[in-house]
């Protein structure tokens, strides 16, 4: 997470959350990742970073409300399905095979 040391009278105000969303099925894994920006406005409710359990719930709530979780789940499931039953493969030029 990225935070402003001080902003609008509060300390450690989160402005960007870097996230990873993963799924696993047996030996197959797929992940999506990104970053979401957030802006604190004076007067909004504020949970201190030091209150880790409450803070985690707040941040997860921000992400769940700003990301399309259902779409990510579907994409991860499709990625795993393709890993299990590939639809493409890499082919090498015959002259490259000697260098492998």
Compute the distance between CA of residue 44 and CA of residue 57 in angstroms, rounded to an integer. Answer: 16
- Provide the 8-state DSSP code for 86: -
**Residues 6 or more apart from 28 whose CB is under 8 A from it?**
80, 83, 84
CA atoms of 3 and 64, how far apart (whole Å):
19
Can you give the pLDDT of all 100 residues of the chain as single tens digits? 999 999 999 999 999 999 999 999 999 999 999 999 999 998 899 998 888 899 999 999 999 999 999 999 999 999 999 999 999 998 888 887 766 6
Global pTM value: 0.78
């Amino acid at each position: 997470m990225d935070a402003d040391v001080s902003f609008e009278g509060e300390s450690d105000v989160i402005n960007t959350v870097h996230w990873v969303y993963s799924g696993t099925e047996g030996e197959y894994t797929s992940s999506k990742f990104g970053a979401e920006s957030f802006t604190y406005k004076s007067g909004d409710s504020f949970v201190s970073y030091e209150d880790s359990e409450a803070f985690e719930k707040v941040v997860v709530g921000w992400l769940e409300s700003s990301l399309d979780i259902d779409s990510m789940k579907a994409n991860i499931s499709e990625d795993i399905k393709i890993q299990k039953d590939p639809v493409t493969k890499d082919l090498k030029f015959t002259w490259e095979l000697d260098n492998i």
